Structures are given as structure tokens and as C-alpha cells.
């Protein structure tokens, strides 16, 4: 990967944590709270991070690590680095040109971006910013009650040149996010959710109906919101099923692969494969949906075991260091995704900031691979990981 000049200011962040600390000072409090917070007591968002720290590295030595290859392949496409950017909504709230800056950074670093359907940039413009269809980006979607609207959006993404469709499956309703309920986040003018139909930039900004439903305090209030929304088909669909949804999605596209994002159990991973999914993303929505679930790192091994290499398994959640990427790959992930770290880079310095975050993760991963004796991703193995023994002293192999 191409790095920046070695002559750097002394205050340049050297870790994702450093970028995060600066982003906190630059973002409005409401925007910061929106991106950093999880649901309920936020135990899952904390567990996503702490699970990585429970794993210990077991380095191998006297191996020729003079050349390190971090490249990975998904759907026949080679990426220089096994870390892409997962979908995050409304990135122009964070800084620069939002999704356009992130897309340019991803293209410059030769990796993968999954664009949120709730982006503040048109999906066509994002792909153009990255150099067109050769960027091999994926598009994320929530299937709405109005299937025709979803169908038209899928067809737009395919026409633009997106290579895969990542359907988020863990959001039939929004998680119980206290910060959003206390202070609802709305887009300031002239920003809009650029990929949604009937988007009027001159209209008064107001929360989506999904967020209005989150605000309901009683059964009756929730029912009223749901009844009103159903007539317009504006809520996320909550009636999706395995036997119907993936086949329907495949009918909407001639070229795009179907990726199921939000799988947390072996049972659902097996059903995804049986019903035609082309890839799985192990994700708990960054701890923003159901609180109290396992971390994605904890869920990863059982999903890898049932996938048996038949489809790629990606994961996101809690990754802030290159050694985290190494640990996820050692547990069987084919590729990793980050959400918040890319946003911290965007807040720091737009496209350049995102590139800097990716460079930090690449250098940390390359260094970890060299120190653990892995010359390429195929040589990263489960035996390079261990956990503290139950008596509190020593290392037990996984």
C-alpha cells in the first residue's frame, strides 16, 4: 500500500484510538453520540471490543517474513488489504464530502466499501468518485414494506455497477437507543438521504418513521405509528423470511451477489447458505440493535464451522487495531470491516484522514503478521491464538 511521507507532524495520530479522540473534539455532541452509542445498557458494544483483548497471540519465529502479502480475494476480486468499510449512514454529518471522501480513500487503498442506502450522497456519485464500476463496491439495503421501492433501488445499484447487494437482516425494528430517543438526530439542510425516493431537500427535516416508532411509549402509540406507516410502506419490513426474501432479491438483479449482513448464529448461517446467499457478514450492528448478544468475534467460529468454505464469511464489530484483524482472520474470517474507525478518519481530515486510518490498520496488521510468522493471510492460523488458563496463569490453545 502507498503510504504518506515519512516526514509527519508530531501530533499525527498513530492509532485508531488517537483518531477517535480527535474526532470527539471535532464533532457536534449529538452527532458524536449518534455514531458512538449502542442500544440499552451498551453491553454488546463493550463486549465487541473486550473480546479481542481476551485472545492472546502465540507467535512463531524463525520464519522468513521478509515479504508480507496482505491481499485477499472476494468473488474473484483481489483486494490489497483484508479490511473494508462497513455501511454507516449519513456520512456528510461527519465531515468533508462524506461518502465521496470515504469512497476515494477506499479506492486509493485498494479495498472494499459497502455503501449505506441511508447515505447523504447518491449511490451513482459515490461509485463515480471511486473511479466507476472498477471499484468493485457493494451496496447495502434495508428492505422496506414497499417492495417496489426496494426493487427500484436494487436496480439502480446494479445499473450503477455495484457488485454485490448486502441486505441488513437484524433491523426489523430499531434497537432501543437511549441517546436517539432523548435527542432525535435529523439532517440539517441541505443534506438529505440521497438514495430515498421523494426526497425533498426544501422540506423540514424530521426523523424517519422507523425512528418515530422507536419513540413510542405505549402499545397503542406504536400501533398507530405502524398503521399510518403501513399505508405508505415506509417502515423496514418486519415480515421477511428465509424461503421468500433471498429468492426475491435474486429476482431483482441479474449480476449482483447477495450478501446477508447481521448473522450471529450457526443456525442462521446454515439457512443463509441453504437459501442461496453468496456471502455472510457476522455483525451485531455495532452493538446498536439487540443488547446482550455475543460479540461478533465470539459468534464468528461457529459460523465459520458451518460455512465450511462454501461462502465467504466477513465480520465487523469492535475492530480498532491491526492485531484485531489478525485475530479475526485466525478464527476463520475471510475479510473484516470497520465502521466507526473510518468515520473518525473522515472527521479528522476527510479523504486523507480515512486513508490515514486504513494505513494505520495496514501497518499494524503487517507488523503483527511478521511478528507471528505469517507471510500471507493463508498462513494465519488458529494455533497462533490462545486464551488465559482458567487458573489465571499460562496460555491455553484454542
Least confident of 107-121, 155-169, 381-395: 381-395
Average pLDDT over residues 333-338: 98
What's the grid cell of residue 148? 417496489
* Dihedral angle, C-alpha 153, 159, 162, 167, nearest 10 °: 30
Cis check for the bond before 145: say yes or no (omega within 30 of 0): no
What's the grid cell of residue 65? 517474513
| Residue 8 pLDDT | 59
| Residue 27 pLDDT | 97
Between CA 227 and CA 294 the distance in angstroms is: 33
Between CA 139 and CA 164 the distance in angstroms is: 6
Q: Is the pLDDT of residue 217 over 90?
A: no
Between CA 237 and CA 110 the distance in angstroms is: 34
| Residue 198 pLDDT | 56
Between CA 254 and CA 197 the distance in angstroms is: 23
| Residue 2 pLDDT | 46
In the annotated binding site for FMN, the residues are 87-89, 116, 140, 168, 261, 283, 339-340
| Residue 126 pLDDT | 97
Q: Is the pLDDT of residue 24 over 70?
A: yes
Dihedral sign for Cα atoms in the order 200, 206, 210, 216: negative
3 state SS of 379: helix
Between CA 70 and CA 379 the distance in angstroms is: 11
Between CA 311 and CA 297 the distance in angstroms is: 18
What's the grid cell of residue 165? 447487494
- 3 confidence band (pLDDT: 50, 70, 90): very low
| Residue 5 pLDDT | 47
**Higher pLDDT, residue 234 or 346:** 346
What's the grid cell of residue 303? 459460523
What's the grid cell of residue 152? 427500484
| Residue 183 pLDDT | 82
All structural domains of the chain with their residue ranges: 16-171+254-390
pLDDT by residue (tens digit) across 194-208? 998 655 554 445 667
Alpha helices in 233-277 (DSSP H): 242-252, 266-274
Decide if 295 contacts 283 (C-beta within 8 A): no
Decide if 315 contacts 285 (C-beta within 8 A): no
In the annotated binding site for glyoxylate, the residues are 34, 142, 177, 285, 288
The separation between the first and the last C-alpha atoms of the chain, rounded to the nearest angstrom, is 32
Between CA 154 and CA 156 the distance in angstroms is: 5
Decide if 199 contacts 192 (C-beta within 8 A): yes
Closest CA to 103 of 17, 195, 92, 335: 92
Between CA 249 and CA 223 the distance in angstroms is: 29
Decide if 83 contacts 336 (C-beta within 8 A): yes
Between CA 130 and CA 344 the distance in angstroms is: 20
Q: Is 271 left (phi over 0), alpha (psi -120 to 50) or beta?
A: alpha
Q: Which residues of 31-62 are buried (b: 16+ CB within 10 A; e: fewer)?
A: bbbbbbbbbbebebbebbbebbeebeebeeee
Mean pLDDT, the chain, rounded, equals 92
Decide if 296 contacts 284 (C-beta within 8 A): yes
Q: Is the pLDDT of residue 322 over 60?
A: yes
pLDDT by residue (tens digit) across 52-64? 999 999 999 999 9
Least confident of 95-99, 128-132, 171-175: 171-175
Q: What is the distance of C-alpha 76 from the center of its chain? A: 21
Q: Is the pLDDT of residue 230 over 80?
A: no
User: Which residue is catalytic, options 285, 303, 313, 365?
Assistant: 285
pLDDT by residue (tens digit) across 358-384? 999 999 999 999 999 999 999 999 999
| Residue 1 pLDDT | 47
Least confident of 47-51, 168-172, 319-323: 168-172
Average pLDDT over residues 3-27: 82
How large a percentage of the chain has pLDDT more than 90?
A: 77
What is the 3-state secondary structure of 145-210? Answer: CCHHHHHHHHHHHHHHCCCEEEEECCCCCCCCCHHHHHCCCCCCCCCCCCCCCCCCCCCCCCCCHH
pLDDT by residue (tens digit) across 293-318? 999 999 999 999 999 999 999 999 99
Average pLDDT over residues 121-139: 95
- 270 confidence band (pLDDT: 50, 70, 90): very high
Rounded to 10 deg, the angle between the 16-26 and 29-36 helix axes is 140
Q: What class is the 16-171+254-390 domain?
A: alpha beta
Between CA 117 and CA 166 the distance in angstroms is: 10
pTM for this one?
Answer: 0.93
| Residue 81 pLDDT | 95
**Higher pLDDT, residue 154 or 201:** 154
Q: Is the pLDDT of residue 174 over 90?
A: no
Between CA 300 and CA 328 the distance in angstroms is: 8
Between CA 300 and CA 317 the distance in angstroms is: 11
**Higher pLDDT, residue 42 or 211:** 42
- 7 confidence band (pLDDT: 50, 70, 90): very low
Burial class (CB in 10 A: 0-12, 13-18, 19+), 199: exposed
- Examine the residue annotation and report whether 275 is marked as an active-site residue of this protein: no
- 224 confidence band (pLDDT: 50, 70, 90): confident
| Residue 391 pLDDT | 83
Amino acid at each position: 500500500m502507498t503510504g504518506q511521507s515519512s516526514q509527519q507532524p508530531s501530533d499525527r495520530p498513530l492509532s485508531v484510538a488517537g483518531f477517535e479522540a480527535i474526532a470527539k473534539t471535532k464533532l457536534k455532541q449529538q452527532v458524536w453520540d449518534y455514531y458512538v452509542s449502542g442500544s440499552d445498557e451498551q453491553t454488546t458494544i463493550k463486549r465487541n471490543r473486550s473480546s479481542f483483548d481476551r485472545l492472546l497471540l502465540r507467535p512463531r519465529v524463525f520464519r522468513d517474513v521478509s515479504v508480507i502479502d496482505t491481499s485477499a480475494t472476494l468473488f474473484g476480486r483481489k483486494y490489497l488489504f483484508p479490511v473494508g468499510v462497513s455501511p454507516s449512514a449519513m456520512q456528510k454529518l461527519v465531515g468533508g464530502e462524506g461518502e465521496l471522501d470515504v469512497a476515494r480513500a477506499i479506492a486509493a487503498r485498494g479495498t472494499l466499501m459497502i455503501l449505506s442506502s441511508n447515505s447523504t450522497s447518491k449511490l451513482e456519485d459515490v461509485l463515480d468518485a471511486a473511479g466507476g464500476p472498477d471499484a468493485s463496491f457493494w451496496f447495502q439495503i434495508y428492505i422496506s414494506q414497499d417492495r417496489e421501492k426496494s426493487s427500484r433501488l436494487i436496480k439502480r445499484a446494479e445499473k450503477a455497477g455495484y457488485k454485490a447487494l448486502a441486505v441488513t437482516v437484524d433491523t426489523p425494528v430499531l434497537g432501543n437507543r437511549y441517546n436517539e430517543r432523548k435527542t432525535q438526530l435529523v439532517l440539517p439542510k441541505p443534506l438529505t438521504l440521497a438514495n430515498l425516493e421523494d426526497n425533498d431537500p426544501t422540506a423540514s427535516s424530521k426523523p424517519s418513521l422507523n425512528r418515530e416508532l422507536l419513540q413510542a411509549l405505549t402499545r397503542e402509540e406504536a400501533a398507530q405509528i405502524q398503521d399510518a406507516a403501513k399505508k405508505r410502506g415506509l417502515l423496514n419490513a418486519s415480515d421477511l423470511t428465509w424461503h421468500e426474501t433471498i429468492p426475491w432479491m435474486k429476482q431483482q438483479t441479474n449480476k449482483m451477489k447477495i450478501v446477508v449482513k447481521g448473522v450471529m448464529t450457526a443456525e442462521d448461517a446454515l439457512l443463509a447458505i441453504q437459501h442461496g446467499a453468496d456471502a455472510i457478514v457476522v455483525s451485531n450492528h455495532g452493538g446498536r440493535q439487540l443488547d446482550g448478544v455475543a460479540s461478533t468475534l465470539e459468534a464468528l467460529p461457529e459460523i465459520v464451522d458451518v460455512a465450511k468454505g462454501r461462502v465467504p464469511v466477513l465480520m465487523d464489530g469492535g475492530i480498532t487495531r491491526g492485531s484485531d484483524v489478525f485475530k479475526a482472520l485466525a478464527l476463520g474470517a475471510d475479510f473484516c470491516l470497520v465502521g466507526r474507525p473510518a468515520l473518525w478518519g473522515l472527521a479528522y481530515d476527510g479523504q486523507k484522514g480515512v486513508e490515514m486510518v486504513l494505513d494505520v490498520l495496514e501497518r499494524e496488521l503487517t507488523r503483527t503478521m511478521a511478528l507471528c510468522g505469517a507471510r500471507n493471510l493463508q498462513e494465519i492460523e488458529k494455533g497462533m491464538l490462545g486464551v488465559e488458563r482458567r487458573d489465571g496463569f499460562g496460555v491455553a490453545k484454542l
